[in-house]
Amino acid sequence: MAKEQRVVVTGMGVVSSVGIGCTSFFSSLIAGRSGIARITLYDPSPQAAQIAGEIKKYNPDNFFSRKVQRRLGRFSQFALIATREAIDMAQLNISSIDLARVGTLIGSGIGDFGMIEDQIRAFLDKGPGKMNPFTVPRVITNMASGSIAMEYGFTGPSFCTTSACASSSHAIATAYTYLKAGLADVIFAGGAESCVAPTSVESYHALRALSLRNDEPTRASRPFDKDRDGFVIAEGGAVLILETEDNARSRGAQILAEIAGIGMSCDAYHITASPPDGRGAAQAMNLALKDAGLAPQDIDYINAHGTATPINDPAETEAIKAVFKEHAYNIPVSSIKSMVGHSLGAAGAIEAVASICTIRENVIPPTINLDEPDPLCDLDYVPHVARHQQVNTVLSNSFGFGGQNCVLVFRGHEGA
């Protein structure tokens, strides 16, 4: 019987509202810089929610030919940009690896929502025969995975995980299980989302999920704050290169971190709301700790789901307290959604990059806009200012509509 493999991260890339590239991204986070602004992809004036975390000054011409752009959805573009950075960081020589042992697992909740909306409008306004022939391949959520595989010739497992805001964490968790089982040597795992479009924003507003602080965008996302009024929708993507430790060592790769454990659960409670006691989230956290062989006291920092919705933040707080007991008050917890916004299916992967950067830099990103904590949210949320301290192990939470929970544990590696 083959030995169970350890799973390590050797490269990563990110496209976010606070920066493209890991250095720009994490520098913005530790500076407490918000990427939230008034929507520019369309005129949001008729809508109640008019702000988002868009990719600033994004010009696809800087990354792709016009021919490629015609067939590649915006979310797939983000995934490919992040992949290129990850390959450079990992110093992965594509020509020297077994392409049949390389997989691509990229999660997405919606795909290219703007394209969906544009083509429905074209059909309704102009009738049959006028739709873009690339509509289907641009919008389907598995195309980010497929595009990466086709770009580099990877013929290992390739598919999309879709579980709302837990999508990309589930992609990373699934890749971890494949690698541990010896079913691949390398997997590109992460998520991508391009969801800033009128009907998408309006749909989330109809759920009363979005912040309406249009007059102060950078202060709109307020996780754990008494005056929070919802999340701020965002776009973006992130990709991590996961390898078996043996494979990484055999090619002399620098190891950035290890995925120590994963935990998954379902609330089985409500289509959009978490149970107030956070029991499903607590179950996933406990499973992740068990899988990692860690005690609650071993966790140095929790990267919270932290959406800034009235329901999520107290429920997540209760879940953390249920798992960590009194030690919960000793663990720094923060939400980068206060700066980046909520990129739905890409959020978990973007937060995974932040978690690994936290380990490598020993700097915990803050929760900005936390001016007056909700009395129900009484943990150490690292308000306003980044905190410099030793961090070796991070627990990262992702929870999605439908009650789907995924928790990842990252830790420093002796080969890092």
| Per-residue pLDDT tens over the stretch 186-217 | 999 999 999 999 999 999 999 999 999 999 99
Is 195 a domain residue?
yes
Q: Is the pLDDT of residue 5 over 90?
A: no
- Which amino acid does the sequence have at 178? Y
Strands 51-52 and 37-38 turn out to be: antiparallel
Residue 96: pLDDT band by 50, 70, 90 thresholds?
A: very high
Residues 129 and 229 in one domain: yes
User: What is the distance between the alpha carbons of residues 146 and 129, in angstroms, rounded to a whole number?
Assistant: 27
* Candidates 22, 305, 357, 413; catalytic one: 305
DSSP helix/strand/coil, 15: strand
Per the annotation, the verdict on 266 as an active-site residue is no
Residues 326 and 375 in one domain: yes
CA-based Rg of the chain, rounded to a whole angstrom? Answer: 20
Cα separations in angstroms, 13 against 237, 346, 398: 8, 12, 19
Residue 101 DSSP symbol:
G
Indicate if 288 and 212 belong to the same structural domain.
Answer: no
Is position 1 within any domain? no
Residues 310 and 289 reside in one and the same domain: yes
255 within domain boundaries: no
Residue 327's Cβ-count burial label (10 Å; 0-12, 13-18, 19+) is middle
Judgement on whether residues 272 and 382 belong to the same structural domain of the protein: yes
Distance (Å) of CA 412 to CA 9, 299, 398: 10, 12, 21
Instruction: Name the nearest CA neighbour of 312 among 261, 347, 288, 262.
Output: 347
Select from 250, 274, 292 the last residue of a domain: 250
Range of the domain at 82: 7-250
Domain end, chosen from 192, 223, 250, is at 250
- Amino acid 61 reads D
CA 221 to chain centre: 16
Instruction: Tell me the pTM.
Output: 0.97
Q: Are residues 166 and 101 in the same domain?
A: yes
Q: Which of 187, 220, 250 is the last residue of a domain?
A: 250
Mean residue pLDDT across the chain: 96
pLDDT value of residue 413: 85
Residue 357 catalytic? no
What does the pLDDT look like over 24-74, one tens digit per residue? 999 999 999 999 999 999 999 999 999 999 999 899 999 999 999 999 999
* Structure-token pair, residue 210: 């979005």
Residue 156 neighbours by CB under 8 Å, 6+ apart: 99, 100, 101, 102, 103, 104, 184, 186, 187
120 and 173 inside one domain: yes
Instruction: Give the pLDDT confidence of 269-315 residue by residue, as tens digits.
Output: 999 889 999 999 999 999 999 999 999 999 999 999 999 999 999 99
- Residues 43, 65, single domain; the answer is yes
- Phi, psi dihedral angles at 375 (to 5 degrees): -55, -25
- Is residue 22 assigned to a domain? yes
Calculate what percentage of the chain has a pLDDT beyond 90: 93
**How many separate domains does the chain show?**
2
Select which of 160, 165, 357, 377 is catalytic: 165
**Residue 143 falls within a domain, yes or no?**
yes
Q: Which residues contact 151 (CB under 8 A, 6 or more apart)?
A: 80, 83
**What digits encode the pLDDT tens for the residues 226-262?**
999 999 999 999 999 999 999 999 999 999 999 999 9
In a shared domain, residues 266 and 188: no
CA atoms within a 13 Å half-sphere pointing along the CA-CB vector of 385 = 3
Q: What is the pLDDT of residue 2?
A: 58
In a domain, 66, yes or no: yes
Q: Catalytic: which of 22, 160, 195, 342?
A: 342
At 4, the pLDDT band (50, 70, 90 cuts) reads confident
Structure token pair of residue 293: 């062989």
Query: Quick check: is 42 in a domain?
Result: yes
The answer to whether residue 99 sits within a structural domain is yes
Does the active-site annotation cover 165? yes
User: Could you tell me the pLDDT band of residue 347, with boundaries at 50, 70 and 90?
Assistant: very high
pLDDT at 3: 67
Question: Residue 1 above 50 pLDDT?
Answer: no
Q: Say whether both 183 and 294 belong to one domain.
A: no
Can you give the CATH number for the domain in which 388 is found?
3.40.47.10
